[in-house]
Structure 1
C-alpha cells in the first residue's frame, strides 16, 4: 500500500512520517535549512503484517502544490494532517479538494501536535474536521489525535495503518505496466534509475519497456520495490527501475514521463474528459479556457473546450482538453486543473477518450459515444460502444487506451458477446446485431445497385464500403467481404462486388468480336498487347465498336484499361501484380525501380511506366520519386478472371 500525506505547511507531515517510519524525508539541504518540505520525500515501514507500506511525503506550501500533485499520483491511502493548534488552513482545504477530485476514498485524518491542545480543543477541532469531510470522498474516515513530539497516538496510528494494509483490496496487476516517473538520477556503478508509483500491471527483470511520450526504448536491469531489491514490481508499489538502452540517460528522462509496456506507447494531446469545477471558482469555464493540467506526475498547459454549455462553479460537464504537448495516459485516469498562475486548483476529472476529434466534437453522435466510453466497467463500455455509431470498435486501440492485458481483453470480448474480425492490421469488434445488419445491408445495397445499373459488372469495393452499415475500416471490410463470398452471398470480381446471380452478358455478335481480340491479348505478347487502333487494322473492325466492346469487357472484369485505348487481359493484370510482388521482395527494403519491372515483362520502358502508373492509381503500389513499393493490403485486388475472360 502507498500512503500519501496531505495538509497545510508546517502541520507536521514530515515529523509524523518520521515518527511512523524512522525516516526523515526532508533530504535536501534547503529543506533542512528552511524547515519545510520542498520536494517529494519517501519512506517505508513494516508494521508487522508482512507487507511494506510506502509513504510519499508531499510539500504543504501553496507554491509547491504542483509537487504535491506529482506525489499524489498512485497513492491509494491518504494521510490527511491537520495541526491541533492551527486547525483547518487554506492548503488543508485545497489538498482535500485534490484528494476528492482524484477519487481517493481511503484514508485517515491525523490531528498532529496534539500535545498543544486540551480535550476541549481536540473535540472542537474533530467536529470541524468532520464537517469539512462531509461532502468529500473521505467523509467516513477515522480521525486520530497524535503527537510526534510525545509519541501519543503513534502506535495506534501504526496499528490502524497495518489494518488498512490488510484490508486493502489487492490492486490488479493484470493490466499492462505503467509507472509514473517522479525522479530520475544516476546511481554510481548502475547507471540511470527512475522512481515512481506503479499505476497498473507488473514489471520484471529483463523486460523491454518504453519511455513515453518520448518513445525511447529501454530494458529493466534491476528493480527495487517498496525499498527492497526484487525481481518484479506490481501495481500499488513504489519502484525504482535501473534502465539501460541507447539514449537512456538522466537528461533524456524527466518527471512526468511514464515507463510503459511498449504496446501502450501512444501519446495523446487532444482528450475528451469529464470535468468537475470547484464551487470556489468565481466564473464558469468557457471556450478555450487556459489552464495547467496535472496528470500522474506530469504538468502541461491545456486549453479547455466545453462540449456543451460553459461549466459553472460546483458543476460537472464534458470538455475537450487540448494539450500543449502529448502525454502518456489511459482512459479512466484522473487529472487536476489549476490556473495558469499556479494560485489555485480549479477542478479535475477523468479521461474518457484519448483520441478526441478536432472537428464535430459537439455532435449528438459524439455525445452518445462519450456516454458509452464513460462506463467504468470495461465489458459494459465495450457493449455500449458497439451500440452507437460507428458500431465497430478497434479492439487493439480499446485495450491499449485502457492499459488492458491480452487475457483481460479476451474476457471482456467474451462477456460482451462481441463478434471479432481478425485482420492483418488488427482486430475489430461488432455486436451480433450489427453483424447481421451488415450482411442484410450489403444485400439491399447490391440489389438496388444492380437494379439501377443492370449493364455494370458490379459496384466498386470502396464505394460499397462507404455505403455499408456499419461502415468498417478497409482491412475489416475486406475480411467481411471474403466471409460473405465464402457464404455464397456475393462475388468479388477484382475491385468490383456483385450478387451471385448478377452477370452482364455480351450478345453473340459482341462475343464473336471479342473472340477475335483475345488471341492478341494473351500468349507471349500478353505484356504488350495492341492498342485499339492496331486491333482495328488487324481484324478490320470499326474503331468505335472495338473500343465499346473492350470497355464493356472491362466492366465485366475480363480486361483492364491500363491507359487510354490500351487494354490488358485480367489474368495478365493479375500476373503482373505477382511479378511486382516478386520484384519488390527481391529488392532492398522492398523498394524497386521501373527498370526491374520492365526487364521481367520484357516490354518497352514507356509501356512499363504506363502499367506501373495504373497500379499506382489502383493503390497496388506506392510511388515516391522514381522508387516504388507494394501495398500488401491491395495485392489481392485482381483475382482470377471469370469464365470466358480470355
Structure 2
C-alpha cells in the first residue's frame, strides 16, 4: 500500500513519517537546513506479515504544491496531518481539495502535536476537522491524536495503517502497465533509474516499455518494489525501474513522463473532461482561459473551453475541453487537478472523459450523446451508449487502449456485447443491432430508388450513405457494402449500388444504337472517340437518336459525356484518371501539356478532359496547374469494396 501525507506546512508530516518508519523523508540538504519539505520524500516500513508500507511525504508549503500534486497521484490512502494546536489551515484545505479531486476515498487524519493541546483544544480541533471533511471523500476518516514527542497514538495509527494495508495488498494488476515518473536519476553502476507509483498492470524484469509522450523505447533491467529488489512491480507499490535503451538517459526523461506498455503509447493534446470549479474562485472561467493541468506528476499549461454555456461559474460542475501546450500521456477516466496559470492556487479538478476531443462540433448534440456514454465507468455500458448514437461505429481498439482495458478483459467485453468489425481487424466496430438496422435500411432505400428510377442502374455510394439511418462513417460504410455484396444482399456495378434483381434496361431502339456505337468508342480510339455527329454518320442513324441513346447510357454509368456530344466509355474515363494520377507522382502537378503528350489526342481534347475532371472534383485547378484530389480519384473507378469485410468477434 502507498500512503500519501497531506497537510499544512510545519504540521509535522515528515516527523510523523520518521516516527512511523525510522526513515527521514527529507532527503535534500536544503530541506534539512530549512526544516520544511521542498520536494517529495519517500520512506518504507516492512511489516511482520511480509508486506511493505510505502510513504510519500509531500511538501506543505504553498510554493511547493505542484510537487505535492506529483506525489498525491497514485496513492492508496491519504494521511491528512493536522496540528492540534493550529487546527486546519489554508494548505490543509487545499491539500484536502486536491486529494478529493484525485479520487482518494480512503484516509486517516493524524491530529499531530497532541502534547501541545489540552482536551478542550483537542475537541475543538476535532470539530474543525469534521466540518472540513464534510462532503468530501474523506468524510468518514478516523481522527487519531498523535505526538512524536511523547509517542502517544503512534502505535494506534500504525495499527490502523496495517489494517488498511491488509485490505489493499491483493490489488489486481488490471490493464497494461503504466507508471507516472516522479523522479529520474543516474545510479553509478546501474545507469538510468525512474521511480513512481504503479497505476495499472504489472511490470517485470526484461519487459519492453515506452516512455510516453516522447516515445523512447527501453527495457527493464531491474526493479525495486517498495524499496526491495523484485522481479515485478504491481499496483499499490512504489517502484524504481532501471531502464536501458539506445536513447535512454537522465536528460531524456522528465518528471511527468509515463513509463508504460508499448500498446498504451498514444499521447494527446486535446482532452474532454468533467470538472468542478472550486466555490472559492473569484470569477467564472470563459473560453480559452489559461490554466495549468496536473495529471500524475505532469504539469502542463492548458486552455479551458466550456462545453456547456459560455463560462464555468465558481462551484459549477460541467463538461469542458482542455487544449494542452504539449502532449500528455494519460488514460480515460483518470483524475486531474487544475491550478491557476501562475501556480498560486488550485482552481478545479475532475476526470478525463475522452482523450481524443474533437476540435470542431464539440458542442453538437451527437457529441453530447457520445460524452454521456464515455462518462460511464462500466466499459460495456459506455460502448452500448456509443453504438446507440451517431456515428454508430466505434474504433474499438482505440477505446480499449484509451481506457487501458487489458487483453483478457477486452475479449470478455467483446464476447458479451456480440460486436462486429467492419473492414477487418483494425476497422470500425458496430453492434449486431446496428448491423441489422443498417442492412434493412439499405434494402429499403434501394427498393424505393428502383421504384422511382427504373431506368437507372442504381444509386451512388455516397448518396446512398447520406440517405440512410443509421448513417455510418464513410470508411465503415464502404466496408459494410462489401459485406452485403458478398452476401448477395446488394449488387455493385462500378460506382452504382443496386439490388441483385434490378436490371436497368434501355428501350429496344436505344439498346440497338448502343450495341453498335459502344465498340466505336473503344480500342485504339478510346482517348479520342468520335463525336455524336460522326457516330450517327457511321451508323446511318439520326443524330438526335444517337445523342438520346448515349445520354441514357450515361445515366446507366456505362459512358460519360466529357464535352458536348463527346462521349467516353466509363472504363476509359477511369483509365484517364489513373494516367493523370501517374503524371502527378513527380511534383504533384498535372499540366495540359503533359496530359496531352500521354493521351496523344491533341491539346483541345486533353483540355476538355481535364476540365471535365475539374467539374467533378477529381482535379483541383490553381491557375494553369492542377493537382489530384485524393478524395475523388476513385469517382470513375470500380470501387474495390470487396476487399473490406465484416468479422464477427467473439
After TM superposition, the score normalised by the length of structure 2 is 0.84
Preserved contact between residue 550 and residue 567 of structure 1 (Cα < 8 Å) = no
**Residues in 2 aligned to 1:30 and 1:639: alpha-carbon distance in whole angstroms:** 68
Structure 2 residue aligned with 1:479: 479
Preserved contact between residue 493 and residue 639 of structure 1 (Cα < 8 Å) = no
Distance 1:631 1:530, change over 3 A: closer
Secondary structure at the aligned position of 1:160 is classed as helix
1:46 has 2:46 as partner: yes
Structure 2 residue aligned with 1:312: 313
Structure 1 residue aligned with 2:340: 339
Preserved contact between residue 267 and residue 327 of structure 1 (Cα < 8 Å) = yes
Structure 1 residue aligned with 2:399: 398
Structure 2 residue aligned with 1:111: 111
Secondary structure at the aligned position of 1:393 is classed as coil
Structure 2 residue aligned with 1:605: 598
Secondary structure at the aligned position of 1:38 is classed as coil
Alignment of 1:40-189 (within 5 A): 40-168=40-168, 170-189=170-189
**Residues in 2 aligned to 1:274 and 1:550: alpha-carbon distance in whole angstroms:** 60
After TM superposition, the score normalised by the length of structure 1 is 0.84
Secondary structure at the aligned position of 1:426 is classed as coil
Distance 1:223 1:414, change over 3 A: same
Shift in Å, 1:255: 1.2
Shift in Å, 1:402: 0.9
Deviates more, 1:356-365 or 1:628-637: 628-637
**Residues in 2 aligned to 1:129 and 1:381: alpha-carbon distance in whole angstroms:** 38
Secondary structure at the aligned position of 1:60 is classed as coil
Distance 1:364 1:639, change over 3 A: closer
Shift in Å, 1:67: 0.6
Distance 1:39 1:553, change over 3 A: same
Structure 2 residue aligned with 1:599: none
Preserved contact between residue 169 and residue 236 of structure 2 (Cα < 8 Å) = no
**Residues in 2 aligned to 1:614 and 1:202: alpha-carbon distance in whole angstroms:** 60
CA RMSD of aligned residues (A): 3.8
Deviations 1:535-587 (A, max 9, x none): 667656667765654554454455678999463475x899999x99xx99xxx
Distance 1:421 1:638, change over 3 A: closer
Shift in Å, 1:626: 10
Preserved contact between residue 592 and residue 628 of structure 1 (Cα < 8 Å) = no
Shift in Å, 1:334: 0.8
Distance 1:55 1:537, change over 3 A: farther
Alignment of 1:253-292 (within 5 A): 253-292=253-292
Structure 1 residue aligned with 2:512: 512
**Residues in 1 aligned to 2:317 and 2:196: alpha-carbon distance in whole angstroms:** 30
**Residues in 1 aligned to 2:419 and 2:561: alpha-carbon distance in whole angstroms:** 39
Structure 2 residue aligned with 1:369: 370
Preserved contact between residue 475 and residue 633 of structure 1 (Cα < 8 Å) = no
Structure 1 residue aligned with 2:591: none
Structure 1 residue aligned with 2:639: 637
Structure 1 residue aligned with 2:218: 218
Secondary structure at the aligned position of 1:65 is classed as helix
Shift in Å, 1:75: 0.8
Preserved contact between residue 618 and residue 629 of structure 2 (Cα < 8 Å) = no
Deviations 1:20-58 (A, max 9, x none): 222222111211211111111122222222222221111
Preserved contact between residue 617 and residue 629 of structure 2 (Cα < 8 Å) = no
Deviates more, 1:145-154 or 1:82-91: 145-154
Shift in Å, 1:89: 1.4
Deviates more, 1:151-160 or 1:250-259: 151-160
Distance 1:170 1:446, change over 3 A: farther
Uncovered stretches (5+) of structure 2, i.e. residues with no partner? 588-595, 643-650
Preserved contact between residue 481 and residue 641 of structure 2 (Cα < 8 Å) = no
Preserved contact between residue 520 and residue 526 of structure 1 (Cα < 8 Å) = no
Structure 1 residue aligned with 2:293: 293
Distance 1:497 1:308, change over 3 A: same
Distance 1:626 1:286, change over 3 A: closer
Preserved contact between residue 592 and residue 627 of structure 1 (Cα < 8 Å) = no
Distance 1:364 1:626, change over 3 A: closer
Distance 1:226 1:336, change over 3 A: same
Distance 1:535 1:198, change over 3 A: farther
Deviations 1:183-205 (A, max 9, x none): 12222333322222222122233
Preserved contact between residue 621 and residue 630 of structure 1 (Cα < 8 Å) = no
Alignment of 1:211-250 (within 5 A): 211-250=211-250
**Residues in 2 aligned to 1:435 and 1:38: alpha-carbon distance in whole angstroms:** 58
Shift in Å, 1:266: 2.6
